[in-house]
């Protein structure tokens, strides 16, 4: 049993949650969308876990299971500024995009609050975190 767990850990690394708090603002209300891997994030922990449970609880949810394993699949959530998200970054990066010509301001901090806040302005920004340091990349 220990050998199986050790080989799984060595193959995939430790499966740890990597939560960040993201705040998206703008000088005036702007529609935005957040794009991430299926079931990787949610506005709250309960929403994220609910989405995961729902996908696996449905009999014959082959499409959901396929999308869960497909590295190119993405889910999108629409919102308006100001918006706040708590996301487990273990599923990969998240892109926040303004729907239109306006710029948005994105601030990211590890949860629980244990890092400095990083921020950037842009029309589309990619948020990443390795569990130690959150990063924001301006896409456009």
The Cα–Cα gap between 125 and 54 comes to 29
- End-to-end CA distance of the chain, in Å? 48
**What residue segments make up the domains of the chain, in order of their start?**
17-138
Q: What is the pLDDT of residue 76?
A: 79
CA–CA–CA angle 87, 88, 92 (5° rounding): 105
User: Among candidates 16, 19, 15, which has minimal Cα distance to 111?
Assistant: 19
The Cα–Cα gap between 26 and 125 comes to 13
Query: From first to last of its 140 residues, what are the pLDDT tens digits of the chain?
Result: 444 434 434 444 554 568 899 999 999 999 998 887 655 555 555 665 566 566 556 555 555 555 555 555 567 788 899 999 888 888 788 999 999 889 999 999 998 888 899 999 999 999 999 888 999 999 88
Preceding peptide of 58 cis, ω within 30°: no
Q: Do residues 29 and 80 touch, judged by C-beta distance below 8 A?
A: yes
| Residue located via tokens 């919102």 | 79
Chain segment 87-102, per-residue pLDDT in tens: 888 878 899 999 988 9
Which residues, 6+ apart, have CB-to-CB distance to 62 below 8 Å? none
The Cα–Cα gap between 140 and 137 comes to 9
Query: Whole-prediction pTM value?
Result: 0.67
Q: Is 110 helix (H, G, I), strand (E, B) or coil?
A: strand
């Amino acid at each position: 049993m220990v050998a199986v767990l050790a080989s799984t850990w060595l193959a995939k690394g430790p499966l740890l949650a990597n939560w960040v708090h993201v705040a998206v603002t703008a000088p005036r209300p702007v529609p935005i969308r957040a794009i991430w891997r299926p079931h990787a994030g949610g506005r709250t922990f309960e929403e994220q876990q609910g989405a995961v449970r729902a996908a696996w609880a449905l009999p014959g949810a082959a499409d959901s299971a396929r999308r869960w394993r497909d590295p190119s699949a993405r889910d999108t959530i629409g919102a308006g500024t100001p918006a706040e998200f708590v996301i487990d970054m273990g599923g990969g990066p998240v892109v926040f995009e303004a729907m239109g010509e306006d710029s948005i301001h994105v601030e990211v901090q590890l949860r629980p609050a244990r890092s400095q806040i990083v921020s950037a302005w842009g029309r589309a920004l990619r948020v990443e975190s390795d569990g130690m340091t959150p990063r924001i990349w301006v896409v456009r």
